[in-house]
Amino acid sequence: MTISFDDFMKVDIRAGTITEVEDFPQARKPAWKLTVDFGPEIGVKRSSAQITAHYGKEDLIGRQVLGVVNFPPRQIGPFMSEVLVLGLHDTGNDVVVIGPERAVPNGARMC
């Protein structure tokens, strides 16, 4: 399927810093509840992320990630996920998060 560049630009992907990580025992698959600061324009948002195979809580605090900030919120069990933190599956089908290779301001938009 081919999409136009204009369609791609409708997806608002921003950099944010993980400020808090909580257990999510109610999740069907192992996951963390993340709190991510996307800067003053977007604010602080929450997300559920199935990234426990590669990341402990201490690995995630302070880490910058990329997230889609303009999807509607999604109910994940008892938790409302406000953003989609982006990642890629590795060869074992576990998720590796995507983030900038250098520090950028929270809220920086992917271009």
Instruction: Report the CATH number that the domain containing residue 16 is assigned in CATH.
Output: 2.40.50.140
Position 107 in a domain: no
Residue-number span of the structural domain to which 38 is assigned: 7-97
Given this model, what pLDDT does residue 50 score? 97
* Residue 58, domain member (yes or no): yes
pLDDT in tens, 69-109: 999 999 999 999 999 999 999 999 999 999 999 999 999 99
**pLDDT tens digits along 20-69:** 999 999 999 999 999 999 999 999 999 999 999 999 999 999 999 999 99
Domain count, the chain: 1
Query: Residue 110 has which token pair?
Result: 């992917």
How many Å apart are CA 53 and CA 31, to the nearest integer? 9
Rounded CA gap, 58 and 54, in Å?
11
Query: What is the distance of C-alpha 80 from the center of its chain?
Result: 13
Locate tokens 């630009």: which residue? 9
Domain assignment present for residue 106? The answer is no
The answer to whether the Cα torsion of 5, 90, 75, 81 is positive or negative is: negative
- For residue 78, tell me if it sits in a domain: yes
Are the CB atoms for 86 and 67 separated by under 8 Å? Answer: yes
Alpha-carbon distance of 109 to 107, in angstroms, equals 6
Residue 15 lies in a domain: yes
